[in-house]
Amino acid sequence: GAVVSQHPSRVICKSGTSVKIECRSLDFQATTMFWYRQFPKQSLMLMATSNEGSKATYEQGVEKDKFLINHASLTLSTLTVTSAHPEDSSFYICSAPDRVSGNTIYFGEGSWLTVV
Amino acid sequence: KQEVTQIPAALSVPEGENLVLNCSFTDSAIYNLQWFRQDPGKGLTSLLLIQSSQREQTSGRLNASLDKSSGRSTLYIAASQPGDSATYLCAAFDSNYQLIWGAGTKLIIKP
């Protein structure tokens, strides 16, 4: 069945390096992918919305040059955290609606990023 | 393995009514439980976050409760309005630091 596969589930990277998180839609085409971030004890917050083949739309306060989103195909969207800092350590999760099934929303499993 | 279930899958009520959405989870070892709404074609909107040590949270016409011992959370919406029509999702942050989602309740408020 339709799912969104997200990986890595956990990643530790050094400060100043870049890390990529991938979300793949399985058994459906994800024309839209939502990317969220959640800091401990805080609510999930939308970072950006990406549409296949076009530039992502970022929420206010989210640095688009730091959080690069690529949605080059209907089944893959990636979030790259560039020049990571410890304050970027957070839980990142993606979700995509399946337009064919009436916009059923599928979520990735989430990725824990720790920047040391 | 944590499972989150939302009942009902869909609900249609007349405007002005109070209503309750239900969310149940199988493993009481959660860090928090969150309620969101999703409008068609848009991202999630965070509504309420209840930490595991809390019993309820309120925001405007919304009240969410959490009973870990019974594995249940409810979202109470008072004096419903057509603008409340959306899909409501609950999600539990479990002991493996994973966010486990319910399938959602599609709510329609009829004018």
Q: Do B43 and A112 touch (CB under 8 A)?
A: no
The Cα–Cα gap between B75 and B61 comes to 10
Nearest CA in chain B to A105: B103
Q: Do B46 and A45 touch (CB under 8 A)?
A: yes
Q: Most A CBs within 10 Å: which of B6, B35, B37, B46, as the mutation test of the A interface?
A: B46
The Cα–Cα gap between A34 and A15 comes to 26
Sites in chain A below the pLDDT cut of 70: 41, 102-103
Walk along chain B (111 residues) and give the pLDDT tens digit of each residue.
Answer: 889 999 999 999 999 999 999 999 999 998 889 899 988 767 778 899 898 889 999 999 999 999 999 999 999 999 999 999 999 999 998 776 677 889 899 999 999
Instruction: Give contacts of A44 with chain B, Cβ < 8 Å.
Output: 34, 36, 44, 46, 91, 99
SS3 B56: strand
What pLDDT score was predicted for residue B45? 82
Say if residues B23 and B4 touch (Cβ distance below 8 Å): yes
CB atoms within 10 A of CB B75: 25
What pLDDT score was predicted for residue B97? 65
The Cα–Cα gap between A30 and B97 comes to 25
